[in-house]
Amino acid sequence: MSVFSWPVRVYVEDTDFGGIVYYANYLRFCERARTEWLRSKGWSQSVLAGERGVLFSVVGAQVNYRRPARLDDELVITCEPRRDGRASICFAQRILRGAELLADADVRVACLAAGTLRPMRLPEFVVAEVG
């Protein structure tokens, strides 16, 4: 399985008064990269929820902040999913500025039934992608 990469530029809205990315926004960047990974596979979260009854919800996240990202930086957010049980996926994610590692995260996402919000098995088309 290859690592998915998604580019992002840091805007004023992503930063604090000093022009440094606010810590919680790293999680937003990771969320967008996971959504774009799904989209790159031909899956839309709204279609999965509406037509297949499948939702994904973050149930855990561990972030290590190593270096600050700043206003106007061009970043790359990577996303490497792996199956984590019958109903969840763990994503290893990295935030890079060029070759420099700024932050890394392990994000655990549960698969939920849209109608009940109870855990459900990962659909086969997802299992085929994450192993």
| Residue 47, H or E segment | helix 45-52
Local structure of 51: helix, strand or coil: helix
| Residue 129, H or E segment | helix 124-130
* Catalytic member of 16, 72, 84, 106: 16
- Whether 16 is catalytic is yes
Three-state SS string across 82-117, please? EECCCCEEEEEEEEEECCEEEEEEEEEEEEEECCCC
* Catalytic residue positions, numbered: 16
